[in-house]
Amino acid sequence: MITCPKCGYTREPHDLAPEHECPGCGVVYARFTALADLRDNIRRARTTGDWSKVPPEHVPAEATAGVIAGMPVTTGLEIPGQQIEAVLDVVSAECALGMNLLKDFLAGAGAGEHGSAAQAVLRDARKKLMQALRGEAFAAGGHAVIGVGLDYSEVSGGGKNSMLLVVATGTAVKLKR
């Protein structure tokens, strides 16, 4: 005997409704329980701050930044202690920096004011790119980004205007919770 979680109707052997549907109110049992589970997970997340069991489309805007900031990003192909449930999409982020940065970097060659300033700019660019990758993965429904790579390229505009293009790519994955 199945009792409907919505209306409390107890299914009878002579009921004509399909087995997955309540003859009393017509609710599909699996959908109702999935929605109830989602509501419970959202309620729990609001008190604990752990949004990992809530699908991205149901995470409120005020919690999104925290979820994205805590998302794992790795150059490896796995997240230690986690099992990958699904590969979702390739994600990428780009950043263009003025060529004077590269000239300063090469002139400093690891020492001096120019070198450390250039390194700081590159470090900040990398951090922003990682955050952008997390945002892309979150938008795709992911919990992590694996296989991250960084590419640096010089883009020249007729020998006058040059830029350093930094591209970060990775794979958004959904983790088994």
pLDDT, greater one: 30 or 82? 82
pTM: 0.62
Q: How far is it, in rounded angstroms, from Cα 79 to Cα 83?
A: 7
* Burial (Cβ within 10 Å: 0-12, 13-18, ≥19) of residue 146: buried
Q: In whole angstroms, give the CA distance from residue 122 to residue 119.
A: 5
Does 38 have pLDDT greater than 90? no
> Exposed, middle or buried, 9 (CB in 10 Å: 0-12/13-18/19+)?
middle
* 150: nearest Cα among 117, 135, 128: 128
Residue 113: pLDDT over 80 = no
Q: Which residues neighbour 159 within 8 Å (Cβ) at sequence distance 6 or greater?
A: none
The two most distant CA atoms of the chain are separated, in Å, by 86
Mean pLDDT on 98-121: 61
- Selection from 102, 50, 40 nearest residue 71 by Cα: 50
Contact 68, 141 (CB under 8 A): no
| Pairing verdict, β 161-175 and 84-98 | antiparallel
Q: What is the mean pLDDT of residues 86-105?
A: 78
The fold for domain 72-175 equals Translation Initiation Factor IF3 (3.30.110)
Q: How far apart are CA 125 and CA 59, in angstroms?
A: 27
Name the residue among 79, 63, 109 with its Cα closest to residue 177: 79
- The predicted structure's pLDDT at residue 61: 72
Residue 108 or residue 129, greater confidence: 129
pLDDT of residue 129: 92
User: What is the predicted pLDDT for the residue at 28?
Assistant: 87
With the C-alpha atoms ordered 65, 66, 67, 71, is the resulting torsion angle positive or negative? positive
Average pLDDT, the chain: 82
Note the pLDDT of residue 115: 59
